[in-house]
């Protein structure tokens, strides 16, 4: 049986790296995309040392750039690499007041978390639907279910990812293709430091989940064709409670939790 190929963005660190390890352990070929070339090479060497029956393609790209998604698609076309699993994992955040956050950072967040993710779906989904096989997983967050003072743009981008994914799953499912919105909570990765989230009250009181355990849950959700998957019982309770809480209170409580 022909090996399947997984394209993973943000594959050099955190959950993305764990997705790569999981797919490699299943015998899947990999296309790993990130801007950290050195770390991608280290990961490639690690995986090739453990799994000698897979092929690994590295694409060093800054996915905040508007042309990056098309470049990824075109390069894979040139190499005749078919993508069976698209995992849109790359994303950035920023903790702090909206008015104090540099516009350059917010713009990058919007471009990466929403624009490039959407573009990659738009590029790869039609071919999957034509073949009547394929799976997409877009990494959202439990942040998607509420407004988020102190991380206003990040929460908004993840809400976009959730709703986009649910809609695309509905449109594609008759073809046999599924789109999963995976919604983890705080996870022990570089994201916490990069986004300055260690300053939030929430993170000071929360023990982040293991990146491997979270990635494994996401992989299983995608393979089960779940439309929306929330990792962890506490996170599910949080999301459920938001739905039951009067809307005018949700944003106030969110701000109090964040600090």
In sequence order, the 6+-apart residues with CB closer than 8 A to the CB of 15 are 89, 139, 184, 187, 189, 211, 214, 215, 218
In a domain, 44, yes or no: yes
Render pLDDT for 195-220 as a digit per residue (tens, 0 to 9).
777 777 677 777 888 999 999 999 99
Q: Which residues are catalytic?
A: 154
For the whole prediction, is pTM greater than 0.85?
Answer: yes
Establish if 212 belongs to a structural domain: yes
* 47-51, 52-56, 242-246: segment of lowest average pLDDT: 242-246
Q: Is position 93 within any domain? A: yes
- Tell me how far apart the alpha carbons of residues 67 and 57 are, in angstroms, rounded to a whole number: 19
What does the alpha-carbon distance between residue 160 and residue 154 come to, in Å, rounded to a whole number?
10
How many domains does one find in the chain? 1
Asked if residue 1 belongs to a domain, the reply is no
Distance of alpha carbon 16 from alpha carbon 33, whole angstroms: 9
233 occurs within a structural domain: yes
CA distance 86 to 128: 10
Range of the domain at 245: 6-258
Alpha carbons 22 and 182: distance in angstroms, whole number = 16
Task: Give residue 231's pLDDT band: very low, low, confident or very high (50, 70, 90).
Answer: very high
158-199: pLDDT as tens digits: 999 999 999 999 999 999 999 999 999 989 888 877 777 777
CATH number for the domain harbouring residue 26 = 3.40.50.720
């Amino acid at each position: 049986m022909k090996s399947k190929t997984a394209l993973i963005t943000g594959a050099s660190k955190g959950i993305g790296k764990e997705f790569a390890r999981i797919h490699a352990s299943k015998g899947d070929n990999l296309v790993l995309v990130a801007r950290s070339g050195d770390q991608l090479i280290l990961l490639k060497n690690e995986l090739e040392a453990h799994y000698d029956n897979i092929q690994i393609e590295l694409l060093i790209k800054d996915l905040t750039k508007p042309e990056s998604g098309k470049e990824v698609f075109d390069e894979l076309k040139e190499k005749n690499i078919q993508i069976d699993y698209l995992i849109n994992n790359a994303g950035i955040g920023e903790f702090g007041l909206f008015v104090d956050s540099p516009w350059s950072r917010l713009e990058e967040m919007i471009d990466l978390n929403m624009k490039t993710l959407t573009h990659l779906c738009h590029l790869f989904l039609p071919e999957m639907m034509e073949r009547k096989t394929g799976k997409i997983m877009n990494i959202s967050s439990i942040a998607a279910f509420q407004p988020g003072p102190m991380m206003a743009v990040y929460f908004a981008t993840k809400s976009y990812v959730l709703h986009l994914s649910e809609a695309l799953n509905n449109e594609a499912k008759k073809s046999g293709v599924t789109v999963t919105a995976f919604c983890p909570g705080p996870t022990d990765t570089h994201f916490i430091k990069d986004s300055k989230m260690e300053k939030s009250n929430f993170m000071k009181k929360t023990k982040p989940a293991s990146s491997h355990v979270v990635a494994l849950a996401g992989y299983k959700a995608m393979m089960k064709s779940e439309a929306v998957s929330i990792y962890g019982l506490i996170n599910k309770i949080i999301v459920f409670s938001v739905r039951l809480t009067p809307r005018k209170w949700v944003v106030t409580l969110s701000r109090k939790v964040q600090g």
